[in-house]
Structure 1
Amino acid sequence: MHLCYIDEAGNGQTLDPARPDAPPVLVVGGFTVPRSQVKALTWDFLKVKKHYRPQLQRATFLSEVIQHEVKGSDVRKNIRVGNHSWRRAAFDLLGSLLDILRQHDARVLARVWVKEEGCAFDETGVYSSSVSALTETFQAQLAHEHSRGMMVLDSRTKSKNAPNVHCVTTRKYRTGGDGYRGIIESPVFGHSDTHTLLQLADLVVSSLLFPIACHAYTSDLTWNVHCDDAYAGLRSTFGDQLRKLQFRYRDPVGKWRGGIVVSDRRSAQSSSLMFRLGKPAARPLVPQQLPPRTDLPTGYQDPAEPR
């Protein structure tokens, strides 16, 4: 049996110079792991947390370590505006996370959506289609492994949760056959303070995939706080490791599917840009283009960031 943990980073805000804190991408993704490796992966993740946050080594109860979350948005902040020590610690953390995923036979999967300036973004529809696509990938992996599986999604609100899995439920129980035979039940929702591996999914999505996508596909948006050259090192350092952690498969017509898939609405660049440096996208004409940011002013405080 396999488990699949899914989280998201970004939201449905319209990408516009008037909103410099609007996320330029939305990422829905996470990882799969064999059930036999869940406990060991959890313990290794707790060890990584205690190393990154030394105060947790003095915790009296295990629950304190489990409930303390290292948020991906904080890791990004340390990379973007932190000093040398904080940036180095953040990169060490991310390297350790990829190491334990590899050691426990985990596979990374995600849908990355690059927004187009000034265009409305259907967050509900995109999130729902992302869950459907990730379920397809998970089902393909289960068939390949001759396994069964269960998906655990980070809980948002009931009004947001329910529509996102109806597409999976209806396909699984429709008349004419189960489209997801390896998946034992529709995706369920969990809270990261009680499902430890959802915290790991958050870090993979929010502190790796999200900033890599921002730099790879929207680095020309110098007015946006999420498009920072400080993220360039993430792709060059971890891109190849992420590529190798994917589960990829061929569909019936021979087309490669699965893994980390990018829908680039700005410049239609390929998903491979997530794993290697390439030529920057041609900068589209943007009304009311703001000048590039220079040094951060005294007293600078980050705007609210996506998870």
Structure 2
Amino acid sequence: MHLCYIDEAGNGQTLDPVRPDAPPVLVVGGVTVPRSQVKDLTWDFLAVKKHYRPQLCKAEQLSEVTQHEIKGSDVRKNLRTGNHQWRGAAMKLLASVLDILERHDARVLARVWVKEERLAFDESGVYPASVGSLTETFQAQPAHEHSHGMMVLDSRTKVKNAPNVHCVTTRKYRTGGDGLRGVIESPVFGHSDTHTLLQLADLVVSSLLFPIACHTYMSDVTWNVHCDDAYRPLREQFGARLKKLQFRYQDVERKWRGGIVVSDRRTRQSSSLMFGPGKPTALPLIPEQPGPVGDSAPLQP
């Protein structure tokens, strides 16, 4: 069995010069991990938090370490406006995050939506569509191993939560058969201060995928605070590792699906640019496989 933890970075705010802090992209994504690795990955992530928040080493209760979050938005701020020491600590933290994901056979999946200036962005439609797409990708992973999976989404509000899973529920229980048999139930919701691996998903989505997308697809939007050249090292140092961490699969028509998928509404550029400049490299065909069934302190160096 696999577990999948999903978070988001960005929102539906219109990209406009009068709102220089409006997110230029919306990223919905996260990480998957085999059930056998969940506990070890969790303990390794708690160790990472203690290393970069040394005050947590003095915590008397495990709950104190669990509830303390290193938010991706704070990591981005350290990269943009921090001194050399803070920026170095932020980069080392992200390297540590990728280390533990690689060590525990975790995978990354995401939908990235690039906005167009001054055009309304329908978050209420894009977010559920992203969840549906990520569910398809995720269910293909355990299906390849004749297993099943469960998804945990970061909880927002009931009004926002409910529509995001209806598309999954209806596909699982509609007349004519379950179109998502790889997942055992519709996605459930959790709070990041009680689900440690949701915090890990936040760091991947908010401090890696979001800033990389902003710099890659929106670097010419100089009036927006998120389109900062300080994010350039993220793609240069971590792009190749993120590419290898993707879960991708071939559908019944042998087309590649899944991974980190970018919908660039602005310049129609390729998703492969998330991992480095240049043209995408064609993936080799693989033997036939079953497709899918159906106020923070700065970081310490």
Same fold (TM > 0.5): yes
Instruction: Give me the whole-angstrom Cα distance separating, in 2, the residues matched to 1:192 and 1:147.
Output: 26
Q: Does 1:59 align with 2:65?
A: no
Shift of 1:253: 1.9
The answer to whether the 8 A contact 1:78-1:90 is kept is: yes
Structure 2 residue aligned with 1:173: 173
Q: What residue is the counterpart of 2:291 in the other structure? A: none
Q: In the alignment, is residue 115 of structure 1 matched against residue 82 of structure 2?
A: no
- Corresponding residue number in structure 2 for 1:234: 234
- TM-score of the pair, normalised by structure 1: 0.90
CA distance in 2, matches of 1:145, 1:247: 13
Q: Offset of 1:70 from its aligned partner? A: 0.3
* 2:210 alignment partner AA: F
Q: Aligned letter for 1:10? A: G
Distance in 1, matches of 2:133 and 2:142, equals 14
Long gaps (5+) in structure 2: 280-294, 296-301
**Displacement of 1:278:** 4.5
Segments of 5+ residues of structure 1 without an aligned counterpart are 280-300, 302-307
Partner of 2:156: 156
Partner of 1:29: 29
Q: Deviations over 1:179-224 (max 9, x none)?
A: 1112111000000000010000000000000000000000000000
Give the equivalent residue in structure 2 for 1:104: 104
Provide the rounded CA distance (Å) in 1 between the counterparts of 2:173 and 2:114: 32
- CA drift at 1:254: 2.1
The equivalent of 2:141 in structure 1 is 141
Q: Kindly provide the amino acid, as one letter, of the partner of residue 202 in structure 1.
A: D
8 Å CA contact 1:235–1:277 kept in 2: the answer is: no
Q: For residues 1-307 of structure 1, what are the structure 2 equivalents within 5 Å? A: 1-278=1-278
Q: Percent identity?
A: 82
User: How far did 1:277 drift?
Assistant: 2.6
Q: CA RMSD in A?
A: 1.1
Partners of 2:37 and 2:184 in 1: CA distance: 19
Q: How far is the alpha carbon of 1:255 from its aligned partner?
A: 1.6
Cα distance in 2, alignment partners of residues 123 and 10 from structure 1? 10
Q: State whether residues 236 and 277 of structure 1, in contact with CA within 8 Å, keep that contact through their aligned partners in structure 2.
A: no
Instruction: Return the alpha-carbon distance in structure 1 between the equivalents of residues 94 and 144 of structure 2.
Output: 29
**Residues 106-158 of structure 1, C-alpha deviations (whole Å, 9 max, x = no match):** 00000000000111000010000000000000111111122111000000000
Q: Please give the TM-score of this superposition, normalised by the length of structure 2.
A: 0.92
Rounded Cα–Cα distance in structure 2 between residues aligned with 1:40 and 1:261: 28
